[in-house]
Structure 1
């Protein structure tokens, strides 16, 4: 069975969403981010990313990690590419060219979007304990994302999806990164294809199921 280490309020949401899309049964081992705890090393602290037991699973000290019948993988976007390829179907690449495109979009989301999108979320919504929200920092991140959002908008203009004219793992991976920027609605208003695409992705039953479970977790 597939085991996912993490919590819904983490990048594990990406893997859980894909598992729901694929109809994969999975076991979730709750591992909370250490920075969300007053003292992650305290006696009785819940399993977290600095717990010795978890560091045996992922020595990097991050979630998510999966154990798929003995294969241990880290990095949420790579995990999703692996699971899609393994289980096939319309979410997976149909050929080598699509495989390359899906890998490209995963790396693009990680390098072009994620850092600035997280900065927007942290400084407009709230971030790790001790981080003081700074509107100027958020505004700078919005400015930095206008170019990448324009790139994404043009890519979505033809079919409304990123690869193969259909909803795939590339959309899941990229949408879950773009979601962090929702605290900057001005980005989405300037990129209507992105706005419609993200709404369509988040309207899917598998996303709604994942999000409902996420809402039940402590913030």
Structure 2
């Protein structure tokens, strides 16, 4: 059984969703946050002392998107396709981490995550401007296919949609990006996504 260390209201949500989509048995080992986004106790299996971390037998992994790639490989197609499409999954997963997440988090911290008195509107605006430039790329890509790799939902979609999930849930303006919005709606209302969201939002 997979052991996912963390809480659903963290990046562990991504891994819970991946396990749901993969149909693999899993257990969430609760570990949440104290004040200031610090862990309530150390997580010794992760040298970075961050959540999530995964135990799969003797294998221990950290980094949520790497965990998801491992889970998807265990499940196989269609969650993790083969051949060139597997390389496209890698591409979009790295794009989620390097191109999307830094900017969506810059916006999020200053739009809803931090206490209101600590938010800096100019930082939120800068994050949105940078993210919008990346969303324009995504909008163009989704003009030719329903999902990132082709006609089927894969872990690439899960990884990027989970990175954008907080913005989608918390009022980010996707008006300029209707294809992105429709794709996010499709990803985040899948039955397994709803199962994971129930844990996170409940």
Same fold (TM over 0.5): yes
Distance in 2 between residues matched to 1:138 and 1:32, nearest whole Å: 25
- Per the TM alignment, residue 118 of structure 1 is displaced from its structure 2 partner at its CA by 1.1
Q: Provide the aligned C-alpha RMSD in A.
A: 1.9
- Per the TM alignment, residue 180 of structure 1 is displaced from its structure 2 partner at its CA by 3.0
Aligned residue pairs: how many? Answer: 201
3-state SS, counterpart of residue 125 of structure 1: helix
Structure 1, unaligned runs of 5 or more: 41-47
Matched, 1:18 2:4: no
Counterpart of 2:94 (choices 90, 107, 122) is 107
- The equivalent of 2:162 in structure 1 is 176
Instruction: Determine which structure has more spread, i.e. the larger CA radius of gyration.
Output: 1
Calculate the TM-score normalised by the size of structure 2.
Answer: 0.92
Distance in 2 between residues matched to 1:78 and 1:98, nearest whole Å: 17
- Kept in 1: contact 2:109–2:119 (CA 8 A): yes
Distance in 2 between residues matched to 1:184 and 1:213, nearest whole Å: 20
Matched, 1:116 2:103: yes
Distance in 1 between residues matched to 2:57 and 2:117, nearest whole Å: 39
Deviations 1:127-158 (A, max 9, x none): 2x697012111111111112100111111111
- Per the TM alignment, residue 50 of structure 1 is displaced from its structure 2 partner at its CA by 4.5
Counterpart of 1:98 (choices 50, 70, 85) is 85
Calculate the TM-score normalised by the size of structure 1.
Answer: 0.85
- Per the TM alignment, residue 22 of structure 1 is displaced from its structure 2 partner at its CA by 1.5
Distance in 2 between residues matched to 1:68 and 1:22, nearest whole Å: 14
Give the 5 Å matches for 1:56-205. Answer: 57-95=45-83, 97-127=84-114, 132-182=118-168, 183=170, 185-186=172-173, 188-205=174-191
